[in-house]
Amino acid sequence: MFQNTKTPSRRDVIAGMFTSLAVVAAPNYANAAGFLRGAGDIRRIKLTSQRTGEAVDTIYWIEGEYIPEALAEISWFMRDWRQNELIQYDRRNIDILAATLRLMDTEEAYNVVSGYRSPATNRKLSRSNRGVAQNSYHMRGMAADLKLTSRSISQMAKAAVACHAGGVGKYNRSNFVHMDCGPVRTWRG
């Protein structure tokens, strides 16, 4: 895990964070990638954050290859802004988010409620919110809580479930959908 008390720049992250990227995909992960095969030789993700005011609109995969600089930019964006910590965000989940967005046929960027959460942040949130799992996939960089203004929570959850590629939690009262690259499962929060 990368942790630093001074705020690293995007350039620092891109230059130093990803020298190698080795992630073994779970068997159910292939379904999300399958949805993206129809997207051609390019995969793109759009993300915004109301908390940090940041946005990412990047092509992260071209002609069968992940782009390390784009993955680093996504990891920086998905960092735990409360603790200013980041880890290598799981590219399998990026594919799930991109596949789900593609299924919904929208150009809108996801509004990210939560990406990576450090153990300290997760503990703090779990004390005040019973819906926060103590062993959350957020702490592994494998999950995101997301909103869209152009699609309902139900539409987002149905599209994510259609990928058959990870966990999908529908949180109607909080108005977001949780997507992760863990085992295939669904729940309501």
Query: How sure is the predictor about 4, in pLDDT bands with cuts at 50, 70 and 90?
Result: very low
pLDDT in the model for residue 125: 83
Q: Which tens digit of pLDDT belongs to each residue from 150-179?
A: 999 999 999 999 999 999 999 999 999 999
Q: Which tens digit of pLDDT belongs to each residue from 20-33?
A: 333 333 334 455 66
The percentage of the chain sitting over the pLDDT mark of 70, rounded to a whole number, equals 78
> pLDDT averaged over the chain?
83
Q: Which tens digit of pLDDT belongs to each residue from 31-45?
A: 566 666 555 589 999
Q: Is the dihedral of CA 78, 94, 181, 159 positive or negative?
A: positive
- Residue 64 in tokens: 């069968």
pTM over 0.85: no
> What do you get for the CA distance between the two ends of the chain, in Å?
29
Average of pLDDT values for 87-114?
A: 95
Closest CA to 78 of 61, 56, 106, 98: 56
- Residue 132 in tokens: 């926060």
CA separation (Å) from 5 to 16, 66, 156? Answer: 16, 29, 36
Domain ranges of the chain: 2-188
Residue 3 predicted with pLDDT over 80? no
CA separation (Å) from 115 to 35, 105, 123, 131? Answer: 22, 23, 15, 15
Closest CA to 146 of 134, 154, 156: 156
Q: Residue 71 carries which side chain, given as an amino acid letter? A: L
Distance separating alpha carbons of residues 188 and 153, to the nearest angstrom: 11
Average of pLDDT values for 92-110?
A: 95
The single residue listed with the structure tokens 């992940």 is 66
The lowest-confidence range among 77-91, 114-128, 171-185 is 114-128
